[in-house]
Structure formats: structure tokens, C-alpha cells
Structure 1
Amino acid sequence: MTVRRDIAVEVKIGVQHAPREIVLVSGQTAAEVEDAVGQALAGKTQVLSLSDEKGRRVLVPSDRIAYVEIGESATRRVGFGAAL
């Protein structure tokens, strides 16, 4: 799988019985993340598997997912306009 950094989305996953949420910036598109979450919640897979920008995998048992928040796709800015 190739990771495109220009379509990175922030994903926050709430896990039952865990004090903190999992936050990652995924190289997958928002549609790909939504599809993976939908399959996990529908019981088609037992584990939600996502990859971050650096290629690391995050695995969450489907029955422990409390919520998933998918951020907007954001292009990376370079130069003086990056702070805006």
C-alpha cells in the first residue's frame, strides 16, 4: 500500500474501558477509514486495522470501539502561508 501524505486525515478512536482515545494521522482517505470502521462495526472483521502516515498499524478490537471521529482531509502547506 502506498501512503499519500497529501490526503492525510486525523482519526480519533475512543476505546471502551480505556482512559484515553487513540489519535493517529492516517495516510488513508476519509472514505477508506470510514469503510474500515463500517466493516468492523458490522461484524465483518473482528479488528479495526488502520495505518498511520509512517506505515505503522493500529489494531482495535471491534467490540471495544466506543466512537470514531474522522477529521477533514488537509493538504500540507509549505512556506510562509503555512501558519495561516
Structure 2
Amino acid sequence: MHVRIGVIRSQKEIEVELDPDSEMETVKKAITAGLASGEMLWLTDHRGREVGVPAASVAYVELDPSASGRSIGFGS
């Protein structure tokens, strides 16, 4: 599952590739709880890397359950 987070006052987005077996509802609940806390939104990618974004800086969150995790071209 692919998560894209828009950050306030930034043109760049934060992209996190979660474990492909992640459940959409579980991810939504974790994101909602992180944003509701008003502190940090923490996500762990499929390699175990933890990504934190201050909740006050989150403009939007986009979930793509169909993302394959493989990119073609110059993407990272």
C-alpha cells in the first residue's frame, strides 16, 4: 500500500510504501489517531524505516491500496 502525505507550505510530498499486506482500515485508524493526537504522525514502511510528520503540518493523506511498490524510470 502506498501512502502520500502533503505537507503544509511545501511543494514536495512524503511518500511511504507500506507492507503490501496492510489493511486499509487499520492504516486509516493509525493515521487518524496520529493526527488526532496533535503530535506526530508515525508510519513504518515495508523495510522497517520509520517516518514521522508533525500532525500540524499535514495538509492531506492519500492512500493507494493498489500500488505495486515497483517504480519504473528514475523514481526512488
Q: Which TM bucket (shorter chain)?
A: 0.7 to 0.9
2:65 aligned residue = 72
- Structure 2 gaps, min length 5: 70-76
* Matched-pair identity in %: 36
Q: 1-side partners of 2:15 and 2:68: how far apart?
A: 18
Offset of residue 30 of structure 1: 2.0
Q: Provide TM-score, normalisation by structure 2.
A: 0.74
- Structure 1 gaps, min length 5: 1-8, 77-84
| Alignment: residue pair count | 67
- Note the alpha carbon deviations across 1:3-50, whole angstroms, 9 max, x for none: xxxxxx0000001112210111112432222112111222x2510000
Larger radius of gyration: 1
Q: 2-side partners of 1:73 and 1:46: how far apart?
A: 29
SS at match of 2:10: coil
2:7 aligned residue = 15
> Which segments of structure 1 move beyond 4 Å, counting only runs of 4 or more?
73-76
